[in-house]
C-alpha cells in the first residue's frame, strides 16, 4: 500500500575547527616561537546522501546503511589531510568520496563557515588571536535611589579565540579525574564584562579603551588557566580607566576537543578540533581596584 518515494539521510552539524600552522612553527607555547601567523578554519558541515536505500527502510536491513557516525569521522579524517584553502573544494572532495558509497546516487555537502577576524594589537594583526562578529553588544545599567546612583557598563558576546599560548596542567587529580594535562590548547570564550564607574564619572567613552585592554590582554597572555587570563584581563581593564572601581568578567570556556584520528592511521598535531557548545566551563570573578 505504501512505497518509499524519496529518501535522504546523513549527519548534520558536524563542528570542525582546523588550525593551520605554517611549516616549521612549533606549538610548545614557549615565548617567541609563536610569531608565525596561524590560520583558523571553523566549519559546521552537513552530509546528506540520497540513493537506493529501500531495504533499510522497508526491511530493516542495514547492510548498505553507512552509519552517520562514519560520515562524521570521515569529515575529520579528510580535514587532517586536506588544506581547506577554500571550503567549496573541501566540500567537493567529501562529496566525491561519499558518491563512491554503494547505493548512493547523490551527495549534498553543506558547509557554514564561521568568520574569524584577526585581533589587532598595537595596530598590528595578531598571529594567533581572533575575534568573531558574533553579536557583540555594549551594555549599561543605571541603578538609582534617593541617595545614590550606580552606573555599570559592559560588553557582552565578545567572542575571541587563541590557537596557542594557553595551557592547563598541574590541577589536582581525584577519583573522578580523567582530563589529560595540556601545555597547548585552543582557548575560546565569549566575554561578558561589566565594570562599575566611581560616582561622578562623565567619560563614558572609556568603554572603547576598556574593550581594547580586554582583547589585547586575552591575545597576549601566556595562559595557565582561564582564571589566570581572566584576572590579567581585569587588571588591564582597571589600568585602562582610572574611573573604574571594579570589573566582573564571565568567561565561558568553549571547549575545543582534539579529535582522536589514530583509528584512521592519522596523527593530530593540535590541528583538528571539535568545537563544543556544552557542557562548558564557566569562570566568573570580580577584580577590584585596591586602595593604595
Residues marked active site are found at 11, 68, 255
- Please report, as residue ranges, which positions from 22 to 81 form the binding site for a second copy (by CB under 8 A): 46, 48, 53, 56-70, 72-74, 77
- Please report, as residue ranges, which positions from 202 to 231 form the binding site for a second copy (by CB under 8 A): 204-205, 224-228, 230-231
Q: Residue 181: which of 167, 197, 195 has the closest Cα?
A: 167
CB nearer a second copy, residue 199 or residue 269: 199
- Tell me: does residue 7 bind a second copy (CB under 8 A): yes
- Please report, as residue ranges, which positions from 105 to 144 form the binding site for a second copy (by CB under 8 A): 105-115, 133-144
CB of 121 to a second copy, least distance (A): 19
* Residue at grid coordinates 573522578: 176
Select the span of 9-17, 24-32, 118-126, 183-191 touching a second copy (CB under 8 A).
Answer: 9-17
Burial degree of 141 (CB within 10 A; 0-12, 13-18, 19+): exposed
CB of 156 to a second copy, least distance (A): 8
| Angstrom distance (rounded) from CA 196 to CA 253 | 24
CB nearer a second copy, residue 25 or residue 201: 201
- Please report, as residue ranges, which positions from 256 to 285 form the binding site for a second copy (by CB under 8 A): 263-264, 277-285
Q: Which of 122, 175, 200, 267 binds a second copy (CB under 8 A)?
A: 175
* Residue at grid coordinates 591575545: 219
CB of 154 to a second copy, least distance (A): 10
| Angstrom distance (rounded) from CA 208 to CA 214 | 10
Here the cell at position 86 is 577554500
Give SS3 for 97: helix
CB of 199 to a second copy, least distance (A): 12
Strands 244-253 and 256-258: unpaired
DSSP 180-242: PPBSS--EEEEEEEEEEEPTT---TTHHHHHHHHHHHHHHH--BS-HHHHHHHHHHHHHHH-T
CB nearer a second copy, residue 25 or residue 68: 68
CB of 168 to a second copy, least distance (A): 7
Spell out a b/e string for 108-123, using b for 16 or more CB atoms within 10 Å of the CB, else e: ebebeebebebbebee
Residues in contact with a second copy, counted by CB under 8 A, come to a total of 124
CB nearer a second copy, residue 34 or residue 74: 74
Select the span of 25-33, 87-95, 119-127, 183-191 touching a second copy (CB under 8 A).
Answer: 87-95
Amino acid at each position: 500500500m505504501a512505497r518509499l518515494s524519496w529518501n535522504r539521510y546523513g549527519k548534520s552539524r558536524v563542528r570542525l575547527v582546523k588550525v593551520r600552522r605554517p611549516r616549521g612553527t612549533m606549538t610548545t607555547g614557549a615565548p617567541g616561537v609563536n610569531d608565525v601567523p596561524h590560520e583558523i578554519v571553523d566549519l559546521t558541515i552537513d552530509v546528506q546522501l540520497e540513493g537506493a536505500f529501500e531495504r533499510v527502510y522497508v526491511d530493516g536491513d542495514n547492510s548498505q546503511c553507512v552509519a552517520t557516525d562514519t560520515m562524521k569521522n570521515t569529515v575529520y579524517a579528510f580535514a587532517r589531510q586536506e588544506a581547506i584553502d577554500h571550503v567549496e573544494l573541501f566540500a567537493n572532495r567529501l562529496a566525491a568520496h561519499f558518491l563512491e558509497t554503494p547505493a548512493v546516487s547523490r551527495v549534498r555537502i553543506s558547509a557554514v563557515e564561521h568568520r574569524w577576524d584577526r585581533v589587532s594589537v598595537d595596530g598590528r594583526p595578531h598571529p594567533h588571536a581572533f575575534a568573531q562578529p558574533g553579536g557583540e553588544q555594549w551594555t549599561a545599567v543605571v541603578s538609582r535611589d534617593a541617595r545614590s546612583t550606580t552606573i555599570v557598563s559592559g560588553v557582552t558576546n565578545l567572542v575571541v579565540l587563541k590557537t596557542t599560548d594557553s595551557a592547563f596542567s598541574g590541577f589536582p587529580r581525584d577519583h573522578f579525574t580523567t582530563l589529560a594535562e595540556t601545555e597547548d590548547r585552543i582557548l575560546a570564550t565569549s566575554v561578558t564584562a561589566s565594570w562599575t564607574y566611581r560616582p561622578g564619572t562623565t567619560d563614558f567613552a572609556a568603554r572603547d579603551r576598556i574593550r581594547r585592554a580586554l582583547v589585547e590582554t586575552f591575545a597576549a597572555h601566556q595562559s595557565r588557566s582561564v582564571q589566570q587570563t581572566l584576572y590579567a584581563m581585569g587588571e588591564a581593564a582597571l589600568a585602562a580607566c582610572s574611573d573604574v572601581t571594579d570589573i566582573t568578567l564571565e568567561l565561558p570556556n568553549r571547549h575545543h576537543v582534539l579529535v582522536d584520528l589514530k583509528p584512521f592511521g592519522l596523527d593530530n598535531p593540535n590541528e583538528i578540533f571539535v568545537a563544543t557548545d556544552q557542557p562548558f566551563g564557566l569562570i566568573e570573578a570580580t577584580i577590584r581596584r585596591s586602595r593604595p
